Chains A and B, each alone.
Chain A
Amino acid sequence: MERFREALQNRHEYARNWKKRTGGKVLGYYEPYVPEEIVYAAGILPVRLLSQHEPDDVTDRQMYGNCACSRDILNQFTKGRYDYIDGLINAEGCQWMLNAFQTTLNNKPDLFNHYIFVPDYVDGRTSKDVMRSELKVFKKALENWTGKPITDSNLDRAIEVYNTNRRLMRQVYELRRADNPVVLGSEAMEMVLASQVMDKEEMNRLLRDAIAKLAERKPRSDTGVRLMLIGSPTSDVALEELVESLGANIVIDELCTGSCYFWNEVIAQSDRLMAISLRYLGRPHCALKDNNWRRRPAHIYQLYEDYQAHGVIIAKQIYCHPHGTDNPLIWKILRERNIPFHYFERDTTLPYEETRLRMEAFINMLKPELVLK
């Protein structure tokens, strides 16, 4: 477990070492719709750009009103934390991230960069075709950049590695359905986050023996209140650890940086690019792409049922408009189904005392007998 935490906390060092070790290139990406398989097939390490909590006195120059994530990513670039990144990819998602992408490029114009258009009409009849053509363009761009072609066997291997990773993560999450899970919410979340900044093959090795070790582990005597976490992407497990310290456990999440990242696999077909585009269009929608058929509420409810949660925490980044816009529907659905939830906003820092107050109260609300315990 510690190894995942290490990789996550020292992700910059990890990537630098990876470069030294393999002499390969590193691409940073902003959005969960970036087809990592293609990047990986080109022998490049795709790294998800995550925010951290460093005082930010540089981004006001170029940004206004951005969410803390996009802001801090630019902050880190400006301060050279990401000096090992050789290029940037953005697949159309949230506009703040598009902004971070563009603004970073204005500072560092010589970085390789590519923008992938992802249909807003995700379920549209013609969307998969335009997505595929975008992937084709992207593939070509990568080939021109690295100077070597991406063969079908490259793609097959990459797809295999990624599917394996997804399967393993599903295994970990499956453990959390137990009445007393052997794996804590914070640990599981660290695994997902780590797998977004690590080389997937190495990650899979680590995951395999982590899962083996988990099999021997004794579950906590009492999991306490089972919580579900939904809302804006996160880059750390502060919240998970907080609720665990209060005698509760987050058993399932519906975050772009969490379960949604690995939930569905690429279904193989001879047209690899089509297979990949279908995978990404078919992934659990992020709040922004959940446009016409509204899959999110159903997905959230199913997870809630499957993992027998007692209540839902909605943690939204300030100025995260996709989730802000989705709130009324999510609230409506949860209320209709009589699912208790607590909504709150987070920012660069997660104000410990205030959040503790909220979580304590919410947990006690879900399990009043705890008050007199």
Chain B
Amino acid sequence: MTQEYWRWTESSWTSKDIDWKKAKTITAGVDIGTNSTQAAIMCDNLLFGYANLRTGPDYRESAGAAMRQALGKSAMTLKDIRYTVGTGWGSRNVPFAQKTVDEINCHARGARFMYGPAVKTVVDLGAQTCKAIRLYAWDRIRDFMINDKCAVGMGRGIEVMADLMQVPIQEMGERSLTVGRDPEPVSTTCYAFANTEAIGLFREGYQESEVLAAYLFAIAWRIHGMVGRVQPEKELAFTGGLAKNTGITKRLEREMGMTALTSEYDPQLAGAIGAALIAQKMVEKA
């Protein structure tokens, strides 16, 4: 079979230096998205391990797999985890979770953990939905928006595009940024429109980079409109899979006139980490 351009790399990591046996409370969060599933294990609010896998057709199985990989080679088992919170599209399919919490809350908390407490605006660029979250200075959500109906599935759209363009999905962003000035974006309504319209641009003699630019700019612009609805403020943080696509984030930053914070964590983990943090709170509360 030919190269799978759409396939993004799964990842997992388990800490070697944290002695989890000494930890007071161990909590976990599992974020089952439509496209990717993350698990995060935390010892007293320190990230102990995580996994980021592609979601399979059986959500329960995906949750288990992510958890197994996050536990990694450490001797820790599910039993050692005091409390687990499930979140995301498939939140109710985490068999070993005591509770489910909505994505917005988890991403907000996760973002503040990963990007620092100064975060005021979180933009979650997911596979199925994009969300803009506006936080008060303290840990409370002021307003949030989820994309219009016609804008669902942008993330999956990009996978399709990678196939059609035969460009590895990780390289898309970089390649699109090689253009001098961005061309006008293609249709910003629906990814299906955008994909075909972008491919059609070759007829006008567009180069690959220009087509990618017109396409990714369309998606960035679409999100820009949605984010504007929550009256974004600094500090800004991007989470979710598309946050790794510089072709989108750079353009979004340009249009918003803000630079996003950076973090050593994988932006896709925000939901899972947030869930684990909430789990921690639950334990403290009890």
Q: Pick from A342, A344, A353, A361: contact of B105, CB below 8 A.
A: A361
- Interface residues of chain B: helix, strand, loop or mixed (majority): mixed
Contact indicator A345/B149 (Cβ below 8 Å):
yes
Q: A343 to B143, alpha carbons, bound, how many Å? A: 11
> Which of the candidate stretches B15-23, B46-54, B206-214, B277-285 sits at the interface with the other chain?
B277-285
Q: A318 to B143, alpha carbons, bound, how many Å? A: 22
Contact indicator A354/B104 (Cβ below 8 Å):
no
- Interface residues of chain A: helix, strand, loop or mixed (majority): helix
Within the complex, the shortest CB–CB distance from B109 to chain A, in Å, comes to: 9
Is the C-beta of B167 less than 8 angstroms from some C-beta in chain A?
Answer: no
User: Which residues in chain B, 116-139, are within 8 Å of chain A measured between CB atoms?
Assistant: 128-129
Q: Pick from B104, B278, B282: contact of A361, CB below 8 A.
A: B104
By beta carbon, the residue of chain B nearest A359 is B102
Contact indicator A357/B102 (Cβ below 8 Å):
yes
Contact indicator B89/A357 (Cβ below 8 Å):
yes
Please judge, given known A-B contacts A344-B146, A345-B148, A353-B89, whether A372 and B285 are in contact too, CB under 8 Å: yes
Within the complex, the shortest CB–CB distance from A70 to chain B, in Å, comes to: 17
Is the C-beta of B141 less than 8 angstroms from some C-beta in chain A?
Answer: yes
Q: A323 to B48, alpha carbons, bound, how many Å? A: 49
Interchain residue pairs with CB less than 8 A apart (27): A318-B150, A342-B144, A343-B145, A344-B146, A345-B148, A345-B150, A347-B149, A353-B89, A354-B152, A357-B89, A357-B102, A360-B102, A361-B103, A361-B104, A361-B105, A361-B144, A362-B144, A364-B101, A364-B102, A364-B105, A365-B104, A365-B141, A368-B141, A371-B105, A372-B281, A372-B282, A372-B285
Within the complex, the shortest CB–CB distance from A82 to chain B, in Å, comes to: 27
Which residues of B approach A to under 8 Å, CB–CB?
89, 101-105, 128-129, 140-141, 143-146, 148-150, 152, 278, 281-282, 285
Q: A360 to B92, alpha carbons, bound, how many Å? A: 13
Chain B residues, CB < 8 A from A346: 149
Q: A345 to B148, alpha carbons, bound, how many Å? A: 6
Contact indicator A357/B103 (Cβ below 8 Å):
yes
Write out, one digit per residue, whether chain A residues 114-142 have a CB within 8 A of any chain B CB (1) or not (0). Answer: 00000000000000000000000000000
Q: A318 to B278, alpha carbons, bound, how many Å? A: 35
Chain A residues, CB < 8 A from B145: 343
Q: A184 to B281, alpha carbons, bound, how many Å? A: 33
Contact indicator A364/B278 (Cβ below 8 Å):
no
User: Which residues in chain A, 327-360, are within 8 Å of chain B measured between CB atoms?
Assistant: 340, 342-347, 353-354, 357-358, 360
Contact indicator B278/A372 (Cβ below 8 Å):
yes
Chain B residues, CB < 8 A from A358: 146
Nearest 3 A-B pairs (CB), nearest first?
A: A361-B104, A360-B102, A361-B102
User: Which residues in chain A, 62-93, are within 8 Å of chain B measured between CB atoms?
Assistant: none
By beta carbon, the residue of chain B nearest A344 is B146
Chain A residues, CB < 8 A from B281: 372
Within the complex, the shortest CB–CB distance from A349 to chain B, in Å, comes to: 11
Chain A residues, CB < 8 A from B149: 318, 344-347
Within the complex, the shortest CB–CB distance from B58 to chain A, in Å, comes to: 16
Chain B CB within 10 Å — which of A353, A361, A362, A368 has the most? A361
Please judge, given known A-B contacts A365-B141, A372-B278, A372-B281, whether A357 and B146 are in contact too, CB under 8 Å: yes
By beta carbon, the residue of chain A nearest B129 is A354
Chain A residues, CB < 8 A from B282: 372
Within the complex, the shortest CB–CB distance from B118 to chain A, in Å, comes to: 20
Within the complex, the shortest CB–CB distance from B261 to chain A, in Å, comes to: 22
Within the complex, the shortest CB–CB distance from A261 to chain B, in Å, comes to: 26
Contact indicator B105/A340 (Cβ below 8 Å):
no
By beta carbon, the residue of chain A nearest B128 is A354
By beta carbon, the residue of chain B nearest A356 is B102
By beta carbon, the residue of chain B nearest A340 is B143
